[in-house]
């Protein structure tokens, strides 16, 4: 019998998850069916339970349901617990297991696909929302020399830094306080690029960086990446690799088989122009 999986979000028509997981299944010989479900804003839990009752094995979670999925889970792995959000569920009997693969997917893209080491690096992470929370533990596991979290609201960044302090050197900062500092890599985890805007980042912060990474994908040269390009940053990347890599982690979790990601990333990559 074909095993059923799905991604749930609202809206969901833009999701690339069915394409990605369908490609993984074909490449690894896994007999699965993967669909996209637009969950009602006031009926997330009921929709998940209905999918389980119909034989579903697991779900990817996208906006705006990552917090509700966290609350629905009976068992949360450490990454999800620390992030306070989940992007993947697995159903086993009466248990609903939750994990968060966003951060590990990002790390895999940076270190494996782009070949940029995070160990010993000074890393600047812009934003303190859900994407940033999911990235912190996997980032710190790479042993950077320092991880600086910058946010418009300093108290939010400070709270996040305090929560993860036991896992490595993480420092909170406002944007203005970044002036005069230099970093090896700068990661934009804000939503500014979705509106073709820039976070209030001093432009000189990007000078000398080896990598500028934009979590938004498929938008070409966003204002953040253009700022990095103008600052002479030699490596620019958007979040398509992260998207595919986090999907691969969920696939392994569900199926016990690791798919190759390179062909899928190449298929989905849009030139940064």
Backbone angles phi, psi at 10, to 5 degrees: -160, 105
Q: How many alpha carbons lie under 13 Å from residue 269 in its C-beta half-sphere? A: 16
Q: Are residue 69 and residue 131 in the same domain, yes or no?
A: no
Assess whether pLDDT exceeds 80 at residue 273. Answer: no
In this structure, are 55 and 137 located in the same domain?
A: no
109 and 199 share a domain?
Answer: yes
Mean pLDDT over each residue of the chain, to the nearest integer = 95
**Statement to judge: residues 49 and 111 lie in one domain:** no
Distance between CA atoms of 130 and 113, rounded to whole angstroms? 23
Q: What is the pLDDT of residues 216-265, one digit of tens each?
A: 998 999 999 999 999 999 999 999 999 999 999 999 999 999 999 999 99
Q: Are residues 129 and 178 in the same domain?
A: yes
Q: Are 179 and 206 in contact (CB under 8 A)?
A: no
99 pairs with which residues across the strands? 88
Residue 84 and residue 166 share a domain? no
pLDDT in tens, 124-176: 999 998 889 999 999 999 999 999 999 999 999 999 999 999 999 999 999 99
Whether 255 is in a domain gets the answer no
- Residue 21 vs residues 26, 97, 135, 249: alpha-carbon distances, Å: 9, 19, 22, 11
Strand partners, 5: 34, 58
Considering the domain architecture, whether residues 205 and 161 belong to the same structural domain is answered as yes
**Same-domain check for residues 210 and 193:** yes
CATH at 47 = 3.40.50.10860
Q: Count of alpha carbons within 13 Å of 228, Cβ hemisphere only?
A: 28
Backbone angles phi, psi at 271, to 5 degrees: -55, 140
Q: Are residues 161 and 130 in the same domain?
A: yes
On whether residue 155 sits in a domain, the answer given is yes
* Residues 31 and 144 placed together within one structural domain of the fold: no
What is the model's pTM? 0.94
Which range of residues forms the domain containing residue 57? Answer: 3-100
Q: Answer yes or no: do 89 and 180 share one domain.
A: no
Residue 271 lies in a domain: no
Token output for 132: 């940033």
Six token digits for residue 236: 């620019």
Q: What's the pLDDT score for residue 70?
A: 96
Q: How confident is the model at residue 104 (pLDDT cuts 50, 70, 90)?
A: very high
CA distances from 222 to 68, 199, 233 (A): 30, 11, 14
- 69 and 128 share a domain? no
Write out the catalytic residue numbers.
Answer: 66
Peptide bond into 64 cis (omega under 30): yes
């Amino acid at each position: 019998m074909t095993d059923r999986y799905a991604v749930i979000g609202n809206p969901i028509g833009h999701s690339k998850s069915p394409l990605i997981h369908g490609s993984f299944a074909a490449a690894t010989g896994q007999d699965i069916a993967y669909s996209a479900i637009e969950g009602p804003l006031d009926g997330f839990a009921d929709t998940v339970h209905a999918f389980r009752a119909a034989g579903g094995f697991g779900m990817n979670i996208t906006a705006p349901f990552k917090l509700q999925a966290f609350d629905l889970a009976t068992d949360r792995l450490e990454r999800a617990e620390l992030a306070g959000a989940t992007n993947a569920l697995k159903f086993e009997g009466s248990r609903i297991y939750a994990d968060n693969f966003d951060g590990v997917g990002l790390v895999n893209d940076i270190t494996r696909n782009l070949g940029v080491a995070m160990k010993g690096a000074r890393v600047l992470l812009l934003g303190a929302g859900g994407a940033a929370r999911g990235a912190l533990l996997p980032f710190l596991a790479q042993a950077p020399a320092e991880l600086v979290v910058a946010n418009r609201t300093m108290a939010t960044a400070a709270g996040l830094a305090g929560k993860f302090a036991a896992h490595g050197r993480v420092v909170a900062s406002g944007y203005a306080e970044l002036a005069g500092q230099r970093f090896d890599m700068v990661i934009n985890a804000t939503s500014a690029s979705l509106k073709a805007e820039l976070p209030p980042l001093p432009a000189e912060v990007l000078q000398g960086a080896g990598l500028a990474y934009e979590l938004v994908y498929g938008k070409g040269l966003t204002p953040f990446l253009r700022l990095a390009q103008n600052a002479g940053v030699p490596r620019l990347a958007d979040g398509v690799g992260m998207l595919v890599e986090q999907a691969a982690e969920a696939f392994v979790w569900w199926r016990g088989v690791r798919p190759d990601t390179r062909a899928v990333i190449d298929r989905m990559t849009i030139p940064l122009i």
